[in-house]
Structure formats: structure tokens, C-alpha cells
Amino acid sequence: MRISFYGAARTVTGSSFMIEDSEKDFGKFLVDAGMFQGAMERRNYRPLPYDASSVEAVIITHAHLDHVGLLPKLVREGFCGTIISTQATKEISWYMLQDSAKVQEEEVKSEGKRRKRRGLEPVKPLYTIEDVEDCFDLDWEIKKYGEEFQLGGFSVKFRNSGHVLGSACVEIDGIDGIASLAISSDLGEPRRLIIRDPEFPEAEAVVIESTYGDRNHRTPEESIEELKNVLWDTYERGGNVIIPSFALERTQEVLYALHLLYRRGEFPDFQVFLDSPLAIDITEIFLKHPELYDEEARKEFQKGNPFSVPGMRMTRSVEDSKEINEIEEHALIIAGSGMCNGGRVKHHLKHNLWREECSVVFVGYQAKGTLGRQIVDGAKFVRIYGEKVAVRARIHTINGFSAHAGKDFLLRWVMESGARKAFVVHGEFETSQKFAAELRKQGIEAIIPDWRQKVNF
Ligand SMILES: [Zn+2]
């Protein structure tokens, strides 16, 4: 078997691995076609390092853009094979990719104006909504966790990775129940608020993510407590709370946490705004798939919508979103993007970041090169839409809502797989190095592959 690391090598974004039988020149397939984000964005525009039309299939492990975001580019460049994912991943990908295309078309429009002024050639978007629609016109096969299927001469199986709704790890080439290779994709911790716990594969070698390979998180219950304290504190100061949130999973976990606080009588009287059309659409998909929840979340679901508190407003239109800007106190605004590098949250930050009575609560990973990372790293001033904005609001990071597992669970996942070899990916290089050192202490051969490296084994 040969694996080529076309993304997520020494970076947390752009996940994409090609799997092929090194003896054959047909039957190769990709696990993920992820987009590079933050400082690595320019890589998305490079030509693909392979002929897209020669790829037989693309497995999508979950609907985050750093795993599915380059699928339309692949299709645009000639991929016409099969796409394989779980049902929830397909449904969520539809909204994630449409939103991504929209963002890119808008960016190109504003960039185009700048270039025109300088007399430069216009730029083209990476892909358009039509390219996204083309992805969904292709043969898209739905697989369940544990269902075995054949691909490129290998047998392949999904297992629940406990990361986001519908997310999967991939086991490849199983003989007697032990896979040659298991690809973790992104792993979540057990005891998450909504979805079921991750499963453990058995494998000779693993590709393991290392986003948080050097630290552990608090539990969701501790995080709900932290969130409660921030809410009451900001409520008493008479400010607003901004939660930059990823539309998939994090938003629903935050809403679920607010719902639990409300039911316990511990929720201050904030008016909640879910100010993200994408997050609204995805929350609706969550409501369609209670079979993917753990027992506790299913019980809440049976009593009513677990992603809501009384009086909550879902603001789809730009006008409704702008109206929120007039509210000076007791608004709790959940808006994307999660790393503040785009989306409506930038407007809310512009209106609230300079006010010391307000709070900003980060609930997810902030990649290098993003506005979110600057704020988390303690910048005194940031630039938002060309304006210098002082950071005076209280900045909080609550990491127990993270969709990624912490160090101890990542280590446990590798150990329980029984693998003797681990390719450490999907982490900032220093973090991957620390995690690889932990694996070596356990007698595992840990390799941090280079971008575009190919390994036969
Ligand atoms: Zn992910």
C-alpha cells in the first residue's frame, strides 16, 4: 500500500491522503479533499499534484472544510468518480460547500476591484456554486459505521470518530478484523455533549491527528460551568457576549449547553441570537438525526428542541443581523466564522470588542494567521474591515467544547489500536513533534510526514 500526504502534513488544515496499491496504476482513492486555511490559504490555488480524472473515489470523513472544502476544485479539474461518506456528512457538506463557494465568490469580487484599480488581471474564484452542484450530481455512496465496502482492491470500513455529527475514521484493508491502516481523521473525546463516543479500530499502522497533541481539555461539564460564570459576569457588567463559533457541532454544543443551563434555572436573561444562516441550516440537520446522539442528548430531544432557549432568534437576513448592532446589553450573539477570518462575527466584534463591559468567548481552535488567533494571543488592537479596533472586552477561551480530542485520548486511541507505527499529521509542527515523542516513549515508530511525501508500507 502507498499513502501520499497531500495535506494535513505539518499543518492543521488541508487534510487529504491518497491511498493506492503500489503494484497497480489504477484504483487509487483519496481520503478527504480538504481546504487549506489561515496562513496556508494560497496552497489551495496550486495545481493538484495528481491527475484528478485518474482518481477512482474520494472518501469524505466529515463535513469540515479542511476535509471536504477542495472537493469542488477536484471535480472542476476532472474528477468524475464516486464520493463516499455517511448520510449526515453528505447533508452537511451541501451547506458547508455552498457557503464556502459564496465566500470565495465574494472575496474575488472585492479583490477584483482592488486589482482593477491597479490595472491587474482579474482573479477567478477557486470554485463557484455551480462547481458545488456538480459534486452532488456525481455518484455519492452513503455508508454506515461498520459497513464494509470494496475500493481499489482494498476493503474499507467507517467507524465513528466522535468528532462531529456523521464523522468517521477509516479502516483500510482489514484481514481478520485487523486493518493494515486506520486513518483517524479528526477525533473527538468521549462524553461529548451531543454525539456518541468514538470507537477504536484495530490496525497495524495509523494516521493520527495531533491538533491538541500537547495538552488536555477540561470536560464539557466544567466548560458549561465556565460559560455560566462568563455569562453572569457579563450580565452584571451590562455588556454583550460574542461567541465566534464554527457552524458545525460547536454551535450546536454551545446551544445545547445554554439549553441545559436554562433548564437548570441558571441562565441569565440574555437574548440569544444565532446569527449564521449556515449554523441555522446545520442545526436543522442535527434535529433530523437523533440516532447519532448519545443517550442523554436523545432524552433531551424527546422533551423538545435541545438546541434552543426561549426567545432565541435565528437571524438569516442581513437586515436582521444588522439590527443586533443596536443592542448594547444582554445580547448573546453566536456567529461565524469560528476563527473570525470572515463572516458576520467580524461586524459584531467591531461593535463590541472595544467595550470593556463585553466578553468574547472562544470555543474552538484558532489557527495561525487568523483574527481569532491574534485576539487570543493578546493583541491590544486588531484591524477589522480596515479599521483599528481596540481589544478591551474580556477574552475567554473555553476549550472543553473543542471537537478535537486532547493529548491523553489521542494517545489512548493509538495504543488501543495495537498499531506499531503511527504517521502523525494534522497539527502545528511543534505540537506534532511533542506528540510523536510521547508515542515513541510507548515504543511506537512515529513519523511526521512532509507535505506531499509518499510512503510505501
Ligand atoms: Zn474536523
The predicted structure's pLDDT at residue 172: 94
| Residues in Cβ contact with 130 at an 8 Å cutoff, skipping those fewer than 6 apart | none
What is the dihedral sign for C-alpha 125, 129, 130, 133? positive
CA angle 99/33/433 to nearest 5° reads: 110
**Pair (395, 420) in one structural domain:** no
**Pair (350, 265) in one structural domain:** yes
Whole-number Å distance, alpha carbon 409 to ligand 1 midpoint, is: 16
The predicted structure's pLDDT at residue 116: 81
Whole-number Å distance, alpha carbon 38 to ligand 1 midpoint, is: 15
Between CA 34 and CA 68 the distance in angstroms is: 5
Q: Which of 355, 386, 401 is the last residue of a domain?
A: 401
For residue 337, cis peptide bond before it (omega within 30 degrees of 0): yes
Whole-number Å distance, alpha carbon 68 to ligand 1 midpoint, is: 10
Whole-number Å distance, alpha carbon 93 to ligand 1 midpoint, is: 12
In DSSP terms, 140 is beta-bridged to 83
The predicted structure's pLDDT at residue 249: 92
**Pair (381, 419) in one structural domain:** no
> For 98-123, b where at least 16 C-beta lie within 10 A, e where not — what string?
bbbbbbbeeebeeebeeeeeeeeeee
170 and 149 in contact (C-beta within 8 Å)? no
Between CA 166 and CA 91 the distance in angstroms is: 10
Between CA 166 and CA 106 the distance in angstroms is: 29
The predicted structure's pLDDT at residue 111: 79
**Pair (233, 253) in one structural domain:** yes
Give pTM, 2 decimals.
0.92
18 and 37 in contact (C-beta within 8 Å)? no
**Pair (202, 264) in one structural domain:** no
What CATH number should be reported for the domain holding residue 318? 3.40.50.10890
User: What is the tally of structural domains in the chain?
Assistant: 2
The predicted structure's pLDDT at residue 427: 92
Q: Which of 359, 385, 401 is the last residue of a domain?
A: 401
**Pair (411, 363) in one structural domain:** no
Whole-number Å distance, alpha carbon 138 to ligand 1 midpoint, is: 23
Strands (E), 91-202: 140-142, 148-151, 154-160, 168-175, 178-183
Where would I find the H helices in 405-447?
407-417, 429-441
Whole-number Å distance, alpha carbon 285 to ligand 1 midpoint, is: 17
**Pair (308, 185) in one structural domain:** no
| Cell numbers standing for residue 19 | 491511498
Sheet of 17-20, strand order: 140-142, 82-85, 57-59, 29-31, 17-20, 2-5, 454-456
**Pair (342, 195) in one structural domain:** no
Spatial CA neighbour of 350 closest among 385, 321, 317? 385
Whole-number Å distance, alpha carbon 114 to ligand 1 midpoint, is: 33
**Pair (382, 244) in one structural domain:** yes
Residues with CB under 5 A from ligand 1 (ion): 64, 186
**Pair (100, 231) in one structural domain:** no
The predicted structure's pLDDT at residue 243: 98
3-state SS, residue 354 = coil
Give residue 257's domain range: 220-401
Whole-number Å distance, alpha carbon 186 to ligand 1 midpoint, is: 5
Q: What is the mean pLDDT of each run of 10 residues along the chain (457 residues)?
A: 90 91 85 90 91 97 97 96 98 97 87 81 88 97 96 93 97 80 95 95 95 91 96 98 94 97 97 97 98 96 96 96 96 94 93 98 88 96 96 94 91 96 95 97 96 90
Q: Pairing mode, if any, of strands 203-209 and 178-183?
A: parallel
Q: Which of 364, 386, 401 is the last residue of a domain?
A: 401
What CATH number should be reported for the domain holding residue 35? 3.60.15.10
| Cell numbers standing for residue 50 | 495528481
**Pair (176, 306) in one structural domain:** no
Whole-number Å distance, alpha carbon 112 to ligand 1 midpoint, is: 31
Between CA 8 and CA 210 the distance in angstroms is: 10
Whole-number Å distance, alpha carbon 203 to ligand 1 midpoint, is: 22
The predicted structure's pLDDT at residue 123: 80
In DSSP terms, 447 is beta-bridged to 423
**Pair (237, 101) in one structural domain:** no
